């Protein structure tokens, strides 16, 4: 089944056109990201700006053309974080539906977390009994999902992300020590809240997804260019990650822009994102009493989870239709048999 999954976040909008087989394996046809900064200024104004909507709608127009070109059978558009509480949400929803032909789904943080976990779990070979923590570090929110390869056990979404914290705390180029301290302090506050509802201390493997994590991984791996195949599945020790975090946080905007691994849309927000990621890993090392000494970067995330959900829904619908057809056939056969019996019993 060929499907299209669209993930519209605070910083970027991403498209995955993929073929999904009966076993749920996802094969990419097109995977594309456009930085639109939909959540730009939302933390302060409570609504999407006209410019942000224009950028987002232009990206949706481009994606709609790709979807038509590749003859996609089913489309799902998922909006997260920034789209949940804005005052002009209806304008956003209507604009997307008009261009794409499907109604956007503004999903809850718990569902977002589950989709991210499913996407990561679909491509990594894990021991079924090991406790896996997937961290989806986005622009406006960060999801924490704990479970095993058998499924999700705990999930929570938090209102921290690279765009949100860049606008709130890290406004100097490069950020001051005070700005960094404020970012780290608020991150730790969120982590303490997460620990109250989720047993983070049980974590045995950490997997990070989304652009901040993969960019830090690319830097830590000292890649000369952003190479997804080398980043995906890379397990990097915490010391090397922290070295990259320090370098990214303290670099000037100009220096970051010149890094070959850096997407232009991440130049302004990678400092806050890297600091959030480093703080999360330090916290996990502490609460697990030193068990967490590395983290895995994954290029497969919520997009893969959305694609799998489309195929799963289609399979369920097809199964239900087939069952209904069998029931109708059975009813028709019974009716025919009853009619034959009536004819046979009728007097000559």
How do strand 235-237 and strand 142-148 relate by DSSP bridges?
A: unpaired
Alpha carbon distance, N-terminus to C-terminus of the chain:
57
Task: Return the CATH number of 109-298, one of 2.60.40.420, 3.30.420.150, 3.40.50.970, 3.30.70.2860.
Answer: 3.30.420.150
Nearest Cα neighbor of 292 from 283, 302, 300, 301 is 283
Residues 65 and 347 sit within 8 Å (Cβ to Cβ): no
Where along the chain do its domains lie?
A: 2-107, 109-298
Cis bond leading into 174, ω under 30°? yes
**pLDDT digits (tens), the chain, 348 positions:** 899 999 998 888 999 999 998 877 888 999 999 989 898 888 888 899 999 999 999 999 999 999 999 999 999 999 976 677 789 989 999 999 999 999 999 888 778 778 888 888 776 666 667 899 999 998 888 989 999 877 789 998 898 999 999 999 998 999 999 999 999 999 999 999 999 999 999 999 999 998 999 999 999 999 999 999 899 989 999 999 999 999 999 999 999 999 999 999 899 999 999 999 999 999 999 999 999 999 999 988 889 989 988 887 766 655 444 454 344 444 544 444 444 433 434 333
pTM: 0.75
Second-level CATH architecture of 2-107: 2-Layer Sandwich (3.30)
Two domains, one topology: 2-107 and 109-298: yes
């Amino acid at each position: 089944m060929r499907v299209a999954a669209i993930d519209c976040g605070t910083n970027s909008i991403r498209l995955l056109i993929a073929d999904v087989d009966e076993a749920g394996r996802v094969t990419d046809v097109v995977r594309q990201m456009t930085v639109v900064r939909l959540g730009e200024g939302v933390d302060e104004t409570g609504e999407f700006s006209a410019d942000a909507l224009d950028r987002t709608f232009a990206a949706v127009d481009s994606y709609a053309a790709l979807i038509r070109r590749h003859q996609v059978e089913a489309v799902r558009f998922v909006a997260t974080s920034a789209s949940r509480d804005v005052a002009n949400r209806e304008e956003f929803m209507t604009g997307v539906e008009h261009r794409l032909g499907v109604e956007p789904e503004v999903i809850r943080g718990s569902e977002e977390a589950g989709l991210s976990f499913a996407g990561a779990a679909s491509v990594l070979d894990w021991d079924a009994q090991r406790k896996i923590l997937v961290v989806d570090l986005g622009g406006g929110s960060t999801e924490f999902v704990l479970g095993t390869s058998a499924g999700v056990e705990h999930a929570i979404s938090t209102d921290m992300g690279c765009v949100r914290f860049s606008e709130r705390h890290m406004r100097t180029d490069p950020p001051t020590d005070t700005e960094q301290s404020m970012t780290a302090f608020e991150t730790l506050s969120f982590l303490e809240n997460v620990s109250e509802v989720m047993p983070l201390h049980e974590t045995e493997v950490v997997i990070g997804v989304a652009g901040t994590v993969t960019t830090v991984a690319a830097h830590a791996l000292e890649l000369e260019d952003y190479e997804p195949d080398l980043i995906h599945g890379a397990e990097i020790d915490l010391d090397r990650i922290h070295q990259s975090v320090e370098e990214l946080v303290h670099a000037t905007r100009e220096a970051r822009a010149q890094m070959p691994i850096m997407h232009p849309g991440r130049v302004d927000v990678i400092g806050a994102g890297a600091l959030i990621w480093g703080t999360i890993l330090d916290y996990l090392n502490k609460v697990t009493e030193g068990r967490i000494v590395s983290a895995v970067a994954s290029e497969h995330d919520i997009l893969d989870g959305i694609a799998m959900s489309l195929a799963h829904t289609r399979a369920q619908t097809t199964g239900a239709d087939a069952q209904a057809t069998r029931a109708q056939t059975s009813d028709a056969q019974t009716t025919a048999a009853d009619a034959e019996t009536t004819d046979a019993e009728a007097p000559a």
